[in-house]
Amino acid sequence: MNSSRIPGFYNMSVEQRRELLKDNFHLSPEEWNDLYVKEPLSTATADKMIENVIGTFQLPLGLGLNFLINGKEYIVPMAVEEASIIASASHIAKIVRSAGGFQTEATERVMIGQIQVIGCSDFQAAKQALLEAKDSLIQAANAAYPSIVARGGGAQDMDVRILNEEADSTYNQMLVMHMYINTCDAMGANIINTMVESIAPIVEEITGGKVYLRILSNYADECLARAHCVIPPALLATGEFSGEEVRDGVIHAFEFASSDPYRAVTHNKGIMNGIDPVVIATGNDWRAVEAGAHAYAARNGSYGSMTTWSKDEAGNLVGEIELPMAIGTVGGATRVHPLAKLSLSMMHIESAKELAQVIVAVGLAQNLGALKALATDGIQKGHMALHSRSVAIAAGATGEMVDIIAEQLIEQKEIRVGKAKELVEQYTK
Ligand SMILES: CC(C)(COP(=O)([O-])OP(=O)([O-])OC[C@H]1O[C@@H](n2cnc3c(N)ncnc32)[C@H](O)[C@@H]1OP(=O)([O-])[O-])[C@@H](O)C(=O)NCCC(=O)NCCSC(=O)C[C@@](C)(O)CC(=O)[O-]
Ligand SMILES: NC(=O)C1=CN([C@@H]2O[C@H](COP(=O)(O)OP(=O)(O)OC[C@H]3O[C@@H](n4cnc5c(N)ncnc54)[C@H](OP(=O)(O)O)[C@@H]3O)[C@@H](O)[C@H]2O)C=CC1
């Protein structure tokens, strides 16, 4: 695919969309059918992935279109159950591409492994001893996972903190050692856990204490991705709202989220509406990403917005996002689930760093989609119109009846299951 702009894609049938993709991926019809259509995740594979398997649970997989990120076109696979998310992401991506696209960057992929040490007779001395043994501890951690070192990653640094130092009894005090580990293209949980478990006996020997927990931290604040966009107000105008009104409404919405946790949680849910579907579609651990993102939103002491929206000197709307992004393009389910493999190849993603940047750009787009709707027509107009098909299905509509009932719900401005049931009854009489 040369461009992520595919006008009319949402008016095609599923079959037509698949044809278009298949042709562009140079897959034979058999390959396409076997790999992705018939049984994307076989029960046999699922049975090897988790425990007590009885089947698989499917989610709709759609494509976020129009994304231009650092000058590269991205068609973004998104696995999600909620209507209007993909339309909204594509809508904003279309606006942002007219303004030059998203600019993104990412830090090195450094993740943190924690080791908890209890019961040292002198915590300060134990901390000092660990810091003096830094080089040998890093070496020992790397010896436990030489293949990640060979890939250019591995343990690179460490530090030590004393927690509860002011506590009356040393029973509550503890040392926490952080090992900083570059996990290359893997999310890295298993790599990190292997490393920190392997050096725990050395840590006990050095400190004279007892090691309890040895585990990665999902607060991956050394593994960040950022996205940025600058939008001239003229591109934001909608209906009776001028671009300036939309811009100012978005900035006021940001200020609301920055000042009130009740609003910030919803604002951030809207951002995760974009982030989680890409994380899931690529076979990544969405609980890890969710936990890290929300913790990062509280890094200044109170929970706030994951994005910022402001106005530059020229009056453009400027959007920014920075989040921990502990994802991988290898490891976990990324190469096990056939659709995760397809998702990664569809985006022509070459590294975890690149995937992290795409994910935060989608999060930023999703946030603007919601704020633009909220600051103008309200969320119900666009969202409920698209949700109306799910409402019709929930009321018992099937086949061609679904679209007919959904249209009637929109026309009658009453998109609710009770109303849909009445319409289904009338239709089937
Ligand atoms: C839904 C829109 C985009 C309509 O908005 P619109 O202005 O009517 O859209 P349009 O018909 O002018 O189309 C503009 C573009 O949007 C895309 N688009 C448009 N329609 C479709 C479709 N059917 N399928 C796929 N893509 C679609 C498509 O890219 C299209 O360009 P085109 O290709 O036509 O040149 C808008 O109303 C919107 O963005 N609403 C917000 C939706 C949203 O945020 N949903 C999330 C659920 S609510 C929630 O959970 C979070 C929240 C809101 O609480 C967060 C918060 O409070 O901050
Ligand atoms: N708190 C949490 O978040 C926890 C999460 N998990 C789970 O851990 C999993 C992620 O762990 P992770 O360690 O990433 O996954 P895996 O252990 O599945 O795989 C990572 C492996 O991929 C191989 N690899 C191949 N190419 C590369 C490359 N370019 N860069 C890096 N590694 C490469 C490496 O092995 P080799 O070098 O030998 O080829 C590496 O060890 C997820 O399933 C997550 O759900 C587990 C525990 C806790």
Residue 255 is part of a domain; what is its CATH number?
3.90.770.10
Is residue 95 located within the same domain as residue 139? no
Average pLDDT, integer, range 92-105? 98
Q: Is 162 inside any structural domain? A: yes
Query: Which domain CATH number covers 145?
Result: 3.30.70.420
> Across the chain, what does the average pLDDT equal?
94
Residue nearest to atom 38 of ligand 1 (CA): 88
Task: Give tens-digit pLDDT for 171-190.
Answer: 789 999 999 999 999 999 99
Active-site choice (31, 82, 132, 350): 82
The answer to whether residues 103 and 306 touch, using CB atoms and an 8 Å cutoff, is no
Task: Give the number of C-alpha atoms closer than 13 A to the C-alpha of residue 259, restricted to the C-beta side.
Answer: 6
Q: Is 131 inside any structural domain? A: yes
What confidence category does residue 27 fall into, taking pLDDT thresholds of 50, 70 and 90? low
Is residue 208 located within the same domain as residue 314? no
What confidence category does residue 384 fall into, taking pLDDT thresholds of 50, 70 and 90? confident
The answer, yes or no, to whether any atom of ligand 2 lies below 6 A from the CB of 331, is yes
Is-catalytic flag, 22? Answer: no
> Which is more confident, 427 or 156?
156
Closest by CA to 232, choosing from 128, 97, 361, 106, is 97
The answer, yes or no, to whether any atom of ligand 1 lies below 6 A from the CB of 274, is no
Active-site choice (185, 222, 285, 354): 285
Q: 161, 194, 217 — which closes off a domain?
A: 217
Instruction: State the sign of the Cα–Cα–Cα–Cα dihedral 335, 339, 344, 348.
Output: positive
Is-catalytic flag, 419? Answer: no
pLDDT of residue 227: 98
Measured in Å, residue 25 CA sits from the centre of ligand 1 at 27
- Report the residue among 66, 81, 88, 364 best suited for mutation to probe ligand 1: largest number of ligand atoms under 8 A from its CB: 88
Task: Give tens-digit pLDDT for 305-352.
Answer: 999 999 999 999 999 999 999 999 999 999 999 899 889 988 999 999
Query: What is the number of the ligand closest to the CA of 292?
Result: 2
Active-site choice (91, 94, 337, 383): 383
Is-catalytic flag, 413? Answer: no
Is residue 317 located within the same domain as residue 170? no
The answer, yes or no, to whether any atom of ligand 1 lies below 6 A from the CB of 270, is yes
The answer to whether residues 126 and 206 touch, using CB atoms and an 8 Å cutoff, is yes
Buried b (16+ CB within 10 A) or exposed e, 133-167: beeebbebbbebbeebbeeebbbeebebebeeeee
Residue nearest to atom 39 of ligand 1 (CA): 88
The answer to whether residues 273 and 306 touch, using CB atoms and an 8 Å cutoff, is no
Is residue 234 located within the same domain as residue 364? yes
Average pLDDT, integer, range 69-76? 97
Q: 181, 197, 217 — which closes off a domain?
A: 217
Strand order in the sheet with 224-231: 103-106, 224-231, 317-324, 307-311
The total number of structural domains in the chain stands at 3
Question: Domain residues for 373?
Answer: 9-106+224-377
The answer to whether residues 279 and 286 touch, using CB atoms and an 8 Å cutoff, is yes
Strand ranges in 232-345 using DSSP code E only, listed in sequence order: 307-311, 317-324
Burial class (CB in 10 A: 0-12, 13-18, 19+), 366: buried
Is residue 399 located within the same domain as residue 304? no
Q: Is 344 inside any structural domain? A: yes
The answer, yes or no, to whether any atom of ligand 1 lies below 6 A from the CB of 214, is no
> Is residue 35 over pLDDT 70?
no
Measured in Å, residue 180 CA sits from the centre of ligand 2 at 16
Query: Which domain CATH number covers 416?
Result: 1.10.8
What does pTM read for this prediction? 0.95
Buried b (16+ CB within 10 A) or exposed e, 169-192: ebeebbbbbbbbbbbbbbbbbebb
Q: Is 45 inside any structural domain? A: yes
Percent of all residues in the chain with a pLDDT value above 70, rounded to a whole number: 98
Q: Is 301 inside any structural domain? A: yes
Measured in Å, residue 183 CA sits from the centre of ligand 2 at 8
pLDDT of residue 354: 98
The answer to whether residues 114 and 213 touch, using CB atoms and an 8 Å cutoff, is yes
Q: 217, 240, 266 — which closes off a domain?
A: 217
Structure tokens at 357: 């940047």
Closest by CA to 123, choosing from 21, 206, 190, is 206
Closest by CA to 73, choosing from 63, 62, 81, 65, is 65
What confidence category does residue 375 fall into, taking pLDDT thresholds of 50, 70 and 90? very high
Is residue 364 located within the same domain as residue 258? yes
DSSP 222: T
Measured in Å, residue 330 CA sits from the centre of ligand 2 at 7
Measured in Å, residue 288 CA sits from the centre of ligand 2 at 13
Query: What is the number of the ligand closest to the CA of 326?
Result: 2
Q: For the chain, give percent helix, strand, coil, nearest 5.
A: 50, 20, 30
Is residue 345 located within the same domain as residue 270? yes
For the chain, the residue count is: 429
Lowest mean pLDDT among 51-60, 162-171, 281-290: 162-171
Measured between its terminal Cα atoms, the distance across the chain in Å is 47
The answer to whether residues 159 and 175 touch, using CB atoms and an 8 Å cutoff, is no
Q: Is 2 inside any structural domain? A: no
Is-catalytic flag, 228? Answer: no
Q: Is 1 inside any structural domain? A: no
Task: Give the number of C-alpha atoms closer than 13 A to the C-alpha of residue 379, restricted to the C-beta side.
Answer: 14
Residue nearest to atom 24 of ligand 2 (CA): 330
Closest by CA to 159, choosing from 127, 182, 186, is 127
Is residue 278 located within the same domain as residue 367? yes
The answer, yes or no, to whether any atom of ligand 1 lies below 6 A from the CB of 267, is yes
Q: Is 4 inside any structural domain? A: no
Residue nearest to atom 52 of ligand 1 (CA): 270
Is residue 237 located within the same domain as residue 339? yes
Is residue 117 located within the same domain as residue 177? yes
The answer, yes or no, to whether any atom of ligand 1 lies below 6 A from the CB of 325, is no
Is residue 38 located within the same domain as residue 63? yes
Is residue 232 located within the same domain as residue 90? yes
Cα 113 to Cα 116, 152, 157, 197, 295: the distances in Å are 10, 18, 11, 10, 17
What confidence category does residue 208 fall into, taking pLDDT thresholds of 50, 70 and 90? very high
Cα Rg for the chain, rounded, in angstroms? 25
In this structure, how many other beta carbons lie within 10 angstroms of the beta carbon of residue 373? Answer: 20
